[in-house]
Structure 1
Amino acid sequence: MADLQERKIKDAQMRATINQKLVETGERERLKELLRTRLVECGWRDQLKAHCKDIVQQKGLEHVTVDDLVAEITPKGRALVPDNVKKELLQRIRTFLSQQSNI
């Protein structure tokens, strides 16, 4: 049990270190912009926008909060991201990490 807890702590520390490097180098913003572009190109944004409209029409504008909407569309939004977009971002992150000597 202690090994599992130690592993979780090390994983969290590694994620924090990687995120810090991504932020410091500006790569995080470049990746976010790439993701935005790819999601628009594949129609993801339009699909999610249509899904939001459907939810609001079903429930009525006065019965939907932003938090409700986010909770409902988040799983669908994640599921709709094409695999090729996920793979491209993962490859970019791997390339970035391979270029970092101090991680």
Structure 2
Amino acid sequence: MRRHSVNRPPTPDAGDEQEKELTVQEKINIKLIESGEKERLMNLLRERLIECGWKDEMKAICRAFIKKKGRNNVTVDDLVHLITPKGRATVPDSVKAELLQRIWAFLNANAI
């Protein structure tokens, strides 16, 4: 039996099925990462969310929840579960539109 590294997936055996084809989403994600565009988009998103007050709003919701439940009774998972739906729902449409426009421009420029 072959041992597998913890840091990478096991190498398929010669008899294994042919590796599955990457999806379009996976190909786009790889291109975004390789070009550095994903990091630029993430930085832009952070900036826009700070500018519009979204980050402060989410922070206030978390603080209120912690105050209500008690500091020692709240886990990070509790906060993630609380904030994720509200956070996604309250991202301003203008921020979503700007990011979408940037992604489309990247896709067009890279013929994906």
TM-score range, shorter chain: 0.7 to 0.9
Count how many residue pairs are aligned between Structure 1 and Structure 2. Answer: 93
What are structure 1's unaligned runs of at least 5 residues? 1-8
Q: Is the counterpart of residue 86 in structure 1 residue 96 in structure 2?
A: yes
Cα distance between partner residues in 2 of 1:65 and 1:41: 28
Higher Cα Rg: structure 1 or 2? 2
Percent of aligned pairs sharing the same letter: 57
What are structure 2's unaligned runs of at least 5 residues? 1-19
Q: Is the counterpart of residue 98 in structure 1 residue 99 in structure 2?
A: no
For normalisation by structure 1, the TM-score amounts to 0.85
C-alpha displacement of 1:97: 0.3
Q: What is the root-mean-square deviation in Å for CA atoms of aligned residues?
A: 1.5
Cα distance between partner residues in 2 of 1:65 and 1:44: 22
Higher helix share: 1
For normalisation by structure 2, the TM-score amounts to 0.79
Cα distance between partner residues in 2 of 1:87 and 1:72: 25
Q: Which aligned runs of 4 or more in structure 1 are off by greater than 6 angstroms?
A: none
C-alpha displacement of 1:100: 1.1
Cα distance between partner residues in 2 of 1:57 and 1:64: 9
